[in-house]
Amino acid sequence: MKRRKQIIKYYISLHFATFACMKTEPELFKLKPIASLTMADQVESQLREYIIKRSIRPGDSIPKEMEIAEALGVSRNVVREALSRLRMLGLIESKKKRGMILTQPDVMKGLERILHPTILDMNVRKELFELRLVLEVGLGDLLFLRKTPEQLQQLDAIVEREQRATTQIERIRCEVDFHSTLYEMAGNDTLKRFQTILMPVFEYVVEYESKLEHTSVGSVTHADLVKILYGNNPEAFPNAMRKHLMPHLEHL
Amino acid sequence: MKRRKQIIKYYISLHFATFACMKTEPELFKLKPIASLTMADQVESQLREYIIKRSIRPGDSIPKEMEIAEALGVSRNVVREALSRLRMLGLIESKKKRGMILTQPDVMKGLERILHPTILDMNVRKELFELRLVLEVGLGDLLFLRKTPEQLQQLDAIVEREQRATTQIERIRCEVDFHSTLYEMAGNDTLKRFQTILMPVFEYVVEYESKLEHTSVGSVTHADLVKILYGNNPEAFPNAMRKHLMPHLEHL
DNA sequence: TTTGTATTTATGTAGTACATAATTATCTAA
DNA sequence: TTAGATAATTATGTACTACATAAATACAAA
């Protein structure tokens, strides 16, 4: 009897899909592939809606798997697939007998699963690199707002290490450390994690750009940036960083 | 016999968990909650590793569900939960008989599922708002690189509409349109989608900041920004945008 | 009061069965 | 022979059942 119910649903969803397609594309045969949402897709969507509509807060519990399954008329299996997704995003956690509770989702959790250079195609990587440049140029005000003497000294140390560096590897390490420390200084966890996740994506850039001769060497060094940060003039930062990143910007 | 295998695995993972706990926390009762990865977690992780290690390209196919299940010694059920997650991230697609193929994952797919104001707590929303400010200040170079006459005219139109606006709602709409158009001008799809997803998160800001009296009114208007964009001096942009956003920056 | 044991319950995993859709193979008719 | 219809094959999608595991609760014993 339950199976019958499911079959009916199939027809309904098919009907809706066709209707939606006709509505958005009145021309005959515009042929956008039918969405064909699986049950799991729909349950996932409904669960998210449920959470939002009822404004369920972190710590609150949501219905048991069986209750959801029965309420939606699907198998527990399907519900579990949907819940599995939300669990991955950090939206829910489940304890053995307590049922499931809403948790504060981790904004970056989905991202860090796919931000891997071999998975993303060149074009997306290029866009993410641009994103990085944009972030660093705009970072100034957060830095001036939250810089601490310790962090400034840390930057000093990195600059010094860089000047003493003899190998290319060491210089690259300093480069990475310097910029990472900047993100740290910004005092924004989301931003910092974003940078951490993004970093491995840019390995290709080093390789790619090392092949090109730099038409203009970055005229602003790390030391110059630190000097600005020691000062009290946020206006100076963006364009200093722009000049520092100019070699990269010119390759866009 | 298969069940036996699984039971053994349980003991092993328990052992490791205990060991890891003791190793990182020699002090008695430091009590950090045991990770306790589920099978689905592990399978998901292994699948991602498999894809990366073998450098499988979009369009390539991956093993059938049953093959994976047998290879890993878990039930098809577990494999499906893991695959369901990857499917949600846009990492794979599955056709009825063709099996599953790798697809170019959508960087923002995970994000857009949780970036909803009622789900995120205040702190994260604040961080995301900061992120937005950082992005807009740093956006300049992409804008100058890719601006088109049509887009500049579009900005003009918005500014004009804003000046004629009589209601607060209309002014807010213009505000949103203006900044959205900027992201569009940057010619970076990832960035643009990021902004689109982020927008609804900031509704609270309007509400929140309207309660505070602005100590300094943004001295740089949209019209000023457009004038700069018509020009040919990227250096002028970051600090102009900083001044434009100053009322927000001051509330950080 | 504390400790230990049994019960209950919700999640985690296994396994079977079948529906659905797409591919492939086979067969028929012009 | 080839086009077109039909059947067999196969991998995913869904349902259902069974049991393991862990946590909470209740209750008994020291």
Q: b/e per residue, A99-136, with b = 16+ CB within 10 A?
A: ebbbbbbbbbbbbebbbebebbeeebbbbbbbbbbbbb
Confidence (pLDDT) at A36:
79
Single-letter amino acid, residue A246: M
**Interchain pair B113, A48: CB under 8 A:** yes
Single-letter amino acid, residue B161: R
> With contacts defined as CB-CB under 8 Å, which chain A residues touch B90?
114
Single-letter amino acid, residue A152: L
State the Cα–Cα distance between residues B56 and B104, nearest whole angstrom.
Answer: 11
**Interchain pair B138, A142: CB under 8 A:** no
Q: Does A81 touch chain B (CB under 8 A)?
A: yes
Confidence (pLDDT) at A122:
87
Kindly list the strands in the beta sheet with B99-102, ordered across the sheet, starting from the edge strand earlier in the chain: B61-62, B99-102, B92-95
- Across the interface, of A91, A120, A238, the residue whose CB is closest to B137 is A238
For residue range B56-111, what is the model confidence (pLDDT) as tens digits?
Answer: 989 899 999 999 999 999 999 999 999 999 999 999 999 888 889 999 998 999 99
Nucleotide nearest to B66 (CA to C1'): D11
Max mean pLDDT among A69-73, A218-222, A244-248, B163-167 falls in A69-73
State the Cα–Cα distance between residues A248 and A214, nearest whole angstrom.
Answer: 9
**Cα A84 from chain centroid?**
20
Average pLDDT over residues A196-200: 90
Q: Which nucleotides of C are covered by protein (CB under 7 A)?
A: 8-16, 19-23
Burial environment of residue A155 by CB neighbours within 10 A (0 to 12, 13 to 18, 19 or more): buried
Q: Looking at CA atoms only, how far is residue A26 from chain B in angstroms? A: 27
More confident residue, A223 or A211: A223
What distances in angstroms separate CA B226 from CA B153, B155, B181, B192, B244, one per listed residue? 9, 7, 11, 19, 12
Using DSSP, state whether B101 is helix, strand or coil: strand
Provide the CA A92 to C1' C3 distance, Å, integer.
34
- Check if A2-102 and A111-249 are the same fold: no
Lowest average pLDDT, out of A80-84, A213-217, A246-250, goes to: A213-217
Touching A: B residues 118-157, CB under 8 Å:
118-121, 124, 127-128, 130-131, 133-142, 145
State the Cα–Cα distance between residues B40 and A121, nearest whole angstrom.
Answer: 27
For residue range B102-123, what is the model confidence (pLDDT) as tens digits?
Answer: 999 989 999 999 988 888 888 9
Give the domain ranges of chain A: 2-102, 111-249
Touching A: B residues 182-241, CB under 8 Å:
186, 188-191, 194, 234-235, 238-239
Is A201 in contact with A176 (CB distance < 8 Å)?
Answer: no
Q: Which two tokens stand for residue B221?
A: 């208007």
Q: Per-residue pLDDT for B217 more than 80?
A: no
- Across the interface, of A113, A134, A252, the residue whose CB is closest to B48 is A113
* Range A111-249 has CATH code 1.20.120: yes
Question: How is domain B110-249 classified at the architecture level of CATH?
Answer: Up-down Bundle (1.20)
State the Cα–Cα distance between residues B192 and B141, nearest whole angstrom.
Answer: 15
Task: Give me the CATH code for the A2-102 domain, please.
Answer: 1.10.10.10
> With contacts defined as CB-CB under 8 Å, which chain B residues touch A239?
235, 238-239
For residue range A118-144, what is the model confidence (pLDDT) as tens digits?
Answer: 888 889 999 999 999 999 999 999 999
Could you tell me which residues come within 8 angstroms of residue A44 by beta carbon, excluding any fewer than 6 positions away? A81, A82, A85, A86, B88
Q: Which residue of A has its CA nearest to B45?
A: A113
Q: Which two tokens stand for residue B43?
A: 């399978």
Task: Spell out where chain A has E strands.
Answer: 61-62, 92-95, 99-102
